[in-house]
Amino acid sequence: MVNINPNGLLPKRIAVTGGAGFVGSHLCEALLARGHEVLCIDNFYTGARSNVQNLLTHPRFELMRHDITFPLYIEVDEIYNLACPASPVHYQFDPVQTLKTSVIGAINTLGLAKRLRVPILQASTSEVYGDPEVHPQTEDYWGNVNPIGPRSCYDEGKRCAETLFFDYHRQHQLAIKVVRIFNTYGPRMHPNDGRVVSNFIVQALRGEDITIFGDGSQTRSFCYVDDLVRGLIAMMESPREVVGPINIGNPSEFTIRQLAEMVIELIGGSSRIVQRPLPQDDPKQRQPDITQARDTLGWLPTIALREGLVRTISYFDTLLGTGAMPIPAPSA
């Protein structure tokens, strides 16, 4: 008798590269909950075994240590390619390796998908829009990216990966899916990854002043990780002709200063907001147009920023309170 998963679908064996990372570990959990087998692939550069510790005894979960800049020989039915450092602190620490992970990693995973004739999803990024001159950003906007700046190893690496995905689609008729992920936050973010949500929460929990860059008027849109994962799965399960790119993010826009004030309000304490110079090429505004995600995938975010921050603060409070703080990440 064929087993049917809880969603009425035949179970699949699914590979998630970067599966022990912040987003990847949540995706692995969600796929297991849908009745699939999950092969989690990670080299633990920014991912952590602790992120999937609760899955290690699951009968349908397998963990493989592997760097996708080297060829991969496995048998699966679908591939989610999430492998790449995603925060400035991490991707600028070894920019050459970051670029290799995006480009050579894409070549290797696309080659695997071509051999197996299986669908593959690329976790791209809103960073392909650079410091946008169009607001909000729609998928047909080509972006405003500095190709030789300190962020270009990530921005241009992801742009090149998108090129590879679409060329494999055109040349080899490969079933591809490309999603552009906007700012995402939630439990299992690395406390020292330099992202604004984790920075503010950790600083406030420690009673330190909260550091903003510039005057804090630059804007971001923050998507809770559970909403993002729903979007990734919806994209993978969409009809073959839906290839993207499709923006996945929360269109509710906040200034960095508003975020800092909300974190201070939720945590309390004596933290003040202090200003530092704005880093080079830091985008002044970022907001997704999610019309395609809504109309094509039936996807909308459901978790408001305040609710998501409460859950994320609880996670970091536990992490800091138990002495489980990971070793500090290398500085750029």
Contact (Cβ atoms closer than 8 angstroms) between residue 113 and residue 51: no
| Amino acid letter, 109 | T
Q: pLDDT at position 191, please? A: 82
Residues with a known catalytic role: 154
CATH assignment, 13-186+223-251+285-303: 3.40.50.720
- Model confidence over 243-286: pLDDT tens digits? 999 999 999 989 999 999 999 999 988 888 988 887 665 667 77
pLDDT of 185 > 80? The answer is: yes
The proportion of the chain whose per-residue pLDDT surpasses 90, expressed as a percent, equals 64
Q: Judging by beta carbons within 10 Å of its beta carbon (0-12, 13-18, 19+), is residue 119 exposed, middle or buried?
A: buried
Cβ count within 10 A of residue 199: 21
Whether omega for the bond prior to residue 245 falls within 30 degrees of 0, making it cis, is yes
Cβ count within 10 A of residue 214: 15
| Amino acid letter, 257 | R
Does the pTM surpass 0.85? The reply is yes
Q: Judging by beta carbons within 10 Å of its beta carbon (0-12, 13-18, 19+), is residue 124 exposed, middle or buried?
A: buried
Q: Report how far residue 214's alpha carbon sits from residue 285's, in angstroms, rounded to the nearest whole number.
A: 13
Q: pLDDT at position 326, please? A: 43
Q: Report how far residue 225's alpha carbon sits from residue 10's, in angstroms, rounded to the nearest whole number.
A: 26
Contact (Cβ atoms closer than 8 angstroms) between residue 158 and residue 117: no
Q: Report how far residue 314's alpha carbon sits from residue 239's, in angstroms, rounded to the nearest whole number.
A: 38
Mean pLDDT score across all residues of the chain: 89
Cβ count within 10 A of residue 322: 8
Domain ranges of the chain: 13-186+223-251+285-303
